[in-house]
Amino acid sequence: MTERPRLTVGAMLFKKDKEKILLLKSQKWNGRYIFPCGHVEFGETLETALKREVREETGLEIKDIRFLKVLEFIKSSEYNDNSLHFVGLQYFCRESEGDLKINREAESYVWTSVSEALKLDLESGTRETIEDYLANK
Give the tens place of pLDDT for each residue, 21-47. Answer: 999 999 999 999 999 999 999 999 999
Structural domains in the chain, sorted by start: 6-135 (3.90.79.10)
What is residue 22's predicted lDDT score, i.e. its pLDDT?
A: 97
Distance CA 6, CA 40 (A): 8
Q: Is the pLDDT of residue 104 over 80?
A: no
Closest CA to 69 of 53, 49, 92: 92
Alpha helix ranges (H) inside the chain: 46-58, 114-117, 124-135
* Residues paired with residue 68 on neighbouring β-strands, in sequence order: none
The number of C-alpha atoms within 13 Å of 134 and in the hemisphere containing its C-beta is 13
Give the contacts of 39 (CB within 8 A, at least 6 positions apart): 6, 7, 8, 49, 53
Closest CA to 46 of 9, 93, 12: 9
pTM value is 0.92
Signed CA dihedral, 31, 18, 135, 119: sign only: negative
What is residue 53's predicted lDDT score, i.e. its pLDDT?
A: 95
Do the Cβ atoms of 50 and 11 come closer than 8 Å?
yes
Q: Is the pLDDT of residue 91 over 70?
A: yes
Q: How confident is the model at residue 1 (pLDDT cuts 50, 70, 90)?
A: low
